[in-house]
Structure 1
């Protein structure tokens, strides 16, 4: 059970409107219900979030998110993203597995995706990019995309902290880490 109780329906109209916007009519995730139980946390989460499309393709975005969550041991958020977005992002089973079990040099990734994963790994391990890592990233992604990559890594590290630290139960329809 989660360490902080989630909001229970019926939700206040403004909260319901936000849930509807983010979830596109599906029931709200436990993560959102728990964060929304604290008005300040919910406001900060929404205002600082990266829940819009941004300059990365869906595939690039999901690789960053899935890898970040996997590195943080956050099966909750990894599983939600794989279940909801992997097919639309055209991630194959070997690629999904590689976000958890393999490094940037896995054969399933293109050169651009290898640079992307290497950057995610570096940011996770050292909170910085070496000149070589940045150069490889910049050879495939423009400045707006590089900002988005770094922001996504930080945002989903925070999401991982929330999901792990609050012991959110895995969503019923979410994917599970490959064993």
Structure 2
């Protein structure tokens, strides 16, 4: 793996950044992505202002399926591994489902119908930056208009996160999962 393109900020952090990191990391060292963004307190704050990890119109499981699939499609092993490690069990994702976010077809038997449409959404957005009317109708069969709006924003945000992780060449966090072997 190549070296990171930017060195992370080191403590002491800007007071607002330090407060946010303490809240997020709960005594653990900050993730490399977070400490790299902390180089610029304005960008750090803007990044977290755009985050969608709060309770919204999606369940934790739905959110994590979209994040894992989007980051996998983008090849962002760093962010995929962080989310699998920190949220995979809490989202009740089985090992088979975790693997399927990277290499599985959207119609794999390990997903229910409402989850298959999430995977098809991620695939369509990644491929076309759009969703056709048929997929829209399927989404609306399972999800409210507000939830679909959140899904679009979530996939877009994690595409941006993927750009950051890959463009900065962030080294994988210690102990985090790797993409499954093909």
TM interval, shorter chain, is: over 0.9
TM-score by length of 2: 0.94
* CA deviation profile, 1:48-100 (whole Å, cap 9, x unmatched): 22232221111000000000000000000000000010000000000000000
Any stretches of 5+ residues in structure 1 without a counterpart?
Answer: none
Match of 2:76 among 57, 74, 79: 74
Match of 2:126 among 121, 124, 136: 124
Cα RMSD over matched residues?
Answer: 1.1
Q: With the length of structure 1 as denominator, give the TM-score of the two structures.
A: 0.96
- Superimposed CA distance per residue, residues 110-165 of structure 1 (whole angstroms, 9 cap, x where no aligned partner): 00000111011111111111001111111011111111110110000000000000
Residue pairs, 1:1-179, within 5 angstroms: 1-179=3-181
Displacement of 1:16 in angstroms is: 1.1
Distance 2:56 2:27 in 1: 22
Q: Which consecutive unaligned segments of at least 5 residues does structure 2 have? A: none
* Structure-2 separation of matches of 1:39 and 1:21: 16
SS at match of 1:121: helix
Q: Please identify, of 82-91 and 47-56, the stretch whose mean Cα deviation from structure 2 is larger.
A: 47-56
How far the C-alpha of 1:174 sits from its partner, in A, is: 1.1
